[in-house]
Amino acid sequence: MNTQRIAVFLDRDGTINEEVEFLTNPADLHLIPGAAKAIHELNSSGVITCVFSNQSGIARGFLTEEDLVPIHAKLTGDLATEGAKLDRFYICPHHPTEGNPPYKVDCDCRKPKPGMILQGKHEFDLNLEMCFVVGDRLVDINAGKAVGATTILVRTGYGKDAERECVVTGMQPDAITDSIVEATEFIRDRLKDRQRN
């Protein structure tokens, strides 16, 4: 199995780092316990690790694309303390109805649309049916389902609310786990099963 053609798409806020409404200051970024070790385990499994994140705060004027640079530098540095790395950041700065041009637009990248995942497919030549999507909202799950990826809802961030929403709407992620730590265990086990088959 060529694991280099498999990626894990990770939502950022509420999945890797603690949820902060419109995170604008690197000092407010704090990793969810175990997240760095979990991502390091994904790295060790040979899969590509990508963040895919709606950042409509840019469209709304709360921050700029340039403001994301130190935020992602902080995230990168915090992960590196456990030997973990992210291969790519995919960001949607748009909002369909709020903000100002050029960001006020009904784009193809804002989750639940799968545009960020499709960008990863083209950049890394991925087999999306072999890929994984991990997030704390149904928009993450819907984006993953749109491309046939395996979807995992975590209970951190807004995940508990999303889990209740799943019951109401009948949405079925492939797995629901307490955090990125258990999500990584699920991914690792699924990869081992594929190798055996």
Instruction: Residue 21: give the domain boundaries.
Output: 3-196
Predicted pLDDT at 4: 53
Instruction: Pick out the chain residues at pLDDT < 70.
Output: 1-4
The amino acid that residue 186 corresponds to is F
Q: Which amino acid is at 3?
A: T
| CA atoms of 74 and 96, how far apart (whole Å) | 29
Overall domain count for the chain:
1
Q: What is the pLDDT of residue 195?
A: 86
Q: Is 161 helix (H, G, I), strand (E, B) or coil?
A: helix
Instruction: Write down the pLDDT at residue 196.
Output: 85
Instruction: Specify the 3-state DSSP secondary structure of 147.
Output: coil
Q: What whole-number distance in Å separates Cα of residue 88 and Cα of residue 123?
A: 10
CATH number, position 8: 3.40.50.1000
Please identify every residue annotated as catalytic.
Answer: 11, 13
- Give the tens place of pLDDT for each residue, 41-63: 999 999 999 999 999 999 999 99
H-helix segments, 45-114? 68-80
CA dist 146 and 73 (Å) reads 30
Residue 40 CA to residue 163 CA, distance in Å, equals: 26
> CB of 117 within 8 A of CB of 133?
yes
Q: Quote the pTM value.
A: 0.96
